[in-house]
Structure 1
């Protein structure tokens, strides 16, 4: 064994030098090498959408998650550089490139909704023009505070459930709205089984 390595190993073991400094260190340092781990997730399997035990408490994060999906898609996605056009006398806007095809839109909505609910939403609220998804250029939907809702279970089986939510109005204006939410278990996870536009 090389004398430098022996002395370096002895110095390290006795704590005379740190592993990252000194000429006798066994492994020289070359800058700060940090490895970042990024979690990859399949569409529909991130965050609150991974709920497999549905309760009056776990439904609220799922509904809040679904509302975010609806709000983003209903606004046309990333609205930076939005393209508009006229069709049959009505102004439409193309969806952003991350939602631009029917399949992309469906995959996005299915992160919180069943396939049938997503298909109904895509069919009734959007049109396809030159292979791109578009919608009427207006913002719709309610401003109810789903994150502050309370839930009551109306019925539940192994694969279906119905909850009634009491949802506060924005800024506490008026009585809470009563909202019925129908759900279905898909591949082990609960999804909302009604079109986003009928819920929000």
Structure 2
């Protein structure tokens, strides 16, 4: 058996390779804990970005992984006190250098989402200013605990799937939220096929 092929397969099974990008997950610089958490998420032997057998159990780690991607991107990346500017009456903040270009941001989001979902998210939630990506300076996201969600498969084909989840609130108060998640298989791995801001 080809040695390179074996190493590549091992890297995929351990979640060290991001499906679609082909880049190895590097150890982030000191202080980049959010990146480290996302890159190191590996439930069992299979990383959440390399799920090829989608079930009511395996969808949960994929959603937790995807929420970490969304939280990091929607929080402008790996630094606080981001550089800010005003545009059309709103205050914007630039994203950190690891998400600084449209391509970097797209590649990052595609670790958990389809190309179309990532493209819609980038197009509608970010602004490209002087070659750098920026976003409105505001907190976003919901307070649902996707790691404690339960899932029911609504439909599934070889390349598409729909699940309905019951997701508890972080406060523990109120009824669980009913969340519908659409997925698509991309290059052999499942990706969420809806914009991150509509899900999280």
Q: Give the TM-score of the pair, scaled to structure 1.
A: 0.78
- Taking structure 1 as reference, are residues 53 and 40 closer, same or farther at Cα in structure 2, changes over 3 Å only? closer
Deviation by residue 1:110-169 (Cα, 9 ceiling, x = unmatched): 000000000000000001000000000001110100000000000000000000000001
1:141 match: secondary structure: coil
Task: State the partner residue of 1:182.
Answer: 182
Deviation by residue 1:53-104 (Cα, 9 ceiling, x = unmatched): 0000000000000000000000000123410000111100000000000000
1:191 match: secondary structure: strand
Task: State the partner residue of 2:160.
Answer: 160
Task: State the partner residue of 1:66.
Answer: 66
1:180 match: secondary structure: strand
How far the C-alpha of 1:40 sits from its partner, in A, is 9.0
Task: State the partner residue of 1:42.
Answer: 17
On the 8 A contact 1:166/1:178 being kept in 2, the answer is: yes
Q: Pick the structure with greater CA Rg.
A: 1
Task: State the partner residue of 1:106.
Answer: 106
How far the C-alpha of 1:180 sits from its partner, in A, is 0.3
Task: State the partner residue of 1:11.
Answer: none
RMSD over aligned CA atoms reads: 1.7
Is the counterpart of residue 56 in structure 1 residue 56 in structure 2?
A: yes
Q: In the comparison of the two structures, how many residue pairs are matched?
A: 163
Return the alpha-carbon distance in structure 2 between the equivalents of residues 115 and 155 of structure 1: 21
On the 8 A contact 2:92/2:136 being kept in 1, the answer is: yes
On the 8 A contact 2:18/2:50 being kept in 1, the answer is: no
